[in-house]
Copies of this chain bind each other. A is one copy, B any other.
Amino acid sequence: MNKVAEKAVELLLKSGKTVACAESCTGGLIAKLITDIPGSSEVFHLGEVTYSNDIKSRILGVDTVTLDKYGAVSEQTAVEMAQNVRKLAGADYGISSTGISGPDGDGICNEAGLSFTAVSTGEKTVCRKLETHSSDRDFNRNHTAENALSLLIEIIED
């Protein structure tokens, strides 16, 4: 079991809070790390893996203007994903990830290893930009997922 996920679930269980996640570049890894932990069903009810722009907009309600103006890999999209999945699930916290896992960049302007992760509490949403400068897909996905869970821990402990 992943230590960061274990700590996040422990804190959620202690405080009686729930979390939902909306993942793009991590593709289910955040949900997987949380649900690896026995008892996580108390704190985790919904994960959305929204890989395409159409699905981000149609299922998760991310504004198409946001996607067109800032792109899927942007702070603005990460923030809306975290806010919207929190509301959709009726959870206390919403987590999101969006980025370029690699091995290739997006062919436009973003290189592999760039990602954004956000955590929303309803009162506030905090977003973090990550850059690994690596083309290692596994490394990038794990890096984003662990940072998402670390950010959740920081916000719970704040």
Q: Which residues of A come within 8 Å of B, CB atoms? A: 23, 27-32, 34-36, 38, 40-41, 44-52, 54-55, 59, 88-89, 101-104, 137-138, 141
Q: Which residues of chain B are near A59, meaning CB under 8 Å? A: 46, 88
Bound complex: CA A49 to CA B26 (Å): 14
In contact, A46 and B50 (Cβ under 8 angstroms): yes
Bound complex: CA A138 to CA B88 (Å): 29
Give the residue of B47, B51, B54, B103 whose beta carbon is less than 8 angstroms from that of A44: B51
Q: Could you pull out 21 A-B pairs where Cβ atoms are within 8 angstroms?
A: A23-B28, A27-B31, A27-B32, A27-B44, A28-B28, A28-B32, A28-B34, A28-B49, A31-B31, A32-B32, A35-B49, A35-B51, A35-B101, A35-B141, A36-B138, A38-B103, A38-B137, A45-B50, A46-B48, A46-B59, A47-B49
Chain A contact surface mostly: mixed
Bound complex: CA A89 to CA B49 (Å): 11
Chain B: which residue is nearest A102 at the CB level?
B38
The listed residue with most B CB atoms (<10 A of its CB), out of A38, A48, A138, A141, is A48
Q: Which residues of chain B are near A27, meaning CB under 8 Å? A: 31-32, 34-36, 40, 44, 47
In contact, B47 and A48 (Cβ under 8 angstroms): yes
Bound complex: CA A47 to CA B55 (Å): 10
In contact, B48 and A52 (Cβ under 8 angstroms): no
Give the residue of B28, B38, B46, B52 whose beta carbon is less than 8 angstroms from that of A41: B52
Chain B: which residue is nearest A47 at the CB level?
B49
Bound complex: CA A59 to CA B60 (Å): 11
